[in-house]
A and B are shown apart, each in its own frame.
Chain A
Amino acid sequence: NAGVTQTPKFRVLKTGQSMTLLCAQDMNHEYMYWYRQDPGMGLRLIHYSVGEGTTAKGEVPDGYNVSRLKKQNFLLGLESAAPSQTSVYFCASSQILGYTFGSGTRLTVV
């Protein structure tokens, strides 16, 4: 009963480096989401997916790419990290009702 698992939990990147954040869910949920959380700004949607093989842009998609090759996994990529991408990233999954969130990835870009 893991729910939603995010890896890694912490990461420090240098400006211009790339990385991939992994989200895995074991609830067979159709919908998956990536959010970023910044102080005083709540949770902002980056990208989301309504099923395997599908992705769509959210509120703040610039600088990020995603892939959903398998139903249980949703990957968030940063091709060239910038300091403005320093944030806490949360993945969530949903069937219809409320979301189930992962515990987050704290990313610092220096």
Chain B
Amino acid sequence: GQQLNQSPQSMFIQEGEDVSMNCTSSSIFNTWLWYKQDPGEGPVLLIALYKAGELTSNGRLTAQFGITRKDSFLNISASIPSDVGIYFCAGRARETSGSRLTFGEGTQLTVNP
């Protein structure tokens, strides 16, 4: 089946620093999504990408759909304490039934004030 490798698994940073994380896939995806999960809550959609090479921003967050269609990147600029949480990448292949997503294992982000 499809597999997503997300890295890093965890990050410990100081407030104000920039953050980068990425996902790579064993197969081609036609949609990449990035989610954030706060403690005790379900994941919430941050950014959706639909085209190879696409670069999309949402406030301090920027995500890119890799040219090869097998990877995606998420950057967070000038981190703040409320950025703490787990970030998941998710991808969808064109042939997937039921609009199913494959999720990465998550990146646990800790921001020290």
A contact residues vs B (CB 8 Å cutoff): 4, 31, 33, 35, 40-45, 48-50, 56, 58-59, 90, 92, 94, 96-104
Contact = CB atoms under 8 A, between A and B. Distances in A.
Nearest to B41: A103
Contact of A101 (B6, B43, B99): B43
B101 interface: yes
B44 A96 contact: no
Contact of B98 (A50, A97, A100): A50
Contact of B103 (A42, A56, A96, A100): A42
A42 B105 contact: yes
Contacts, number: 53
A42 B104 contact: yes
B113 interface: no
Interface residues of B, number: 22
Interface string B24-35: 000000000101
B100 A104 contact: no
Contact of A42 (B33, B44, B88, B97): B88
B59 interface: no
Interface of B: 1, 6, 9, 33, 35, 40-45, 48, 88, 97-101, 103-106
B40 A94 contact: no
Nearest to A104: B42
A45 to B, nearest CB: 7
A22 to B, nearest CB: 15
